[in-house]
Amino acid sequence: MKGTPTAAPPFVFMEAGDEKPTQLVIRSGRWKLIQVRSSKDRRAMNNKEVELYDVHADPGEQHDLARKESAIVEKLAARLASWAGSTPSGSGSMPIVLGDLDVQEQAMLRALGYLE
């Protein structure tokens, strides 16, 4: 990519997985919190509902720090819950209509592969 580097956003959110309800994920700096909501996913992940990783020290996400870093878990989980409630799937609102997006938003979604 060309251009001036910009600072990373303070939080990055996503949904992941094929099982419903999907996993919710928040990244903030070095921390990545995964909320495992599907019982099938939990069984595959040692029955954990929440996992926390220091992705700088542990990029392979092998060492769950959720028990050790409970204050970070609380902070990130609260942010994640707030974000999830604002999403169409979390709030029960209708999906976004393509015509509601401006040209720049549509271009960004195209570049990410969400639109053709």
Q: Which residues of 23-49 are buried (b: 16+ CB within 10 A; e: fewer)?
A: bbbbbbeebbbbbbbbeebeeeeeebe
Q: How confident is the model over 10-66, as pLDDT tens digits?
A: 899 998 888 888 889 999 999 999 999 888 888 887 888 999 999 999 999 999 999
The DSSP call for residue 82 is H
**Is the model's pTM score more than 0.85?**
no
Smallest Cα–Cα separation from 63: which of 87, 40, 31, 37?
31
DSSP tag of 98: G
Number of other CB atoms surrounding residue 72 within 10 Å: 17
Model pLDDT, residue 77: 94
CA dist., res. 23 & res. 104, Å (int): 29
Q: Considering only CA atoms, which of 88, 75, 60 is closest in space to residue 26? A: 75
Domains, the chain, in order of start with CATH, read: 12-111 (3.30.1120.10)
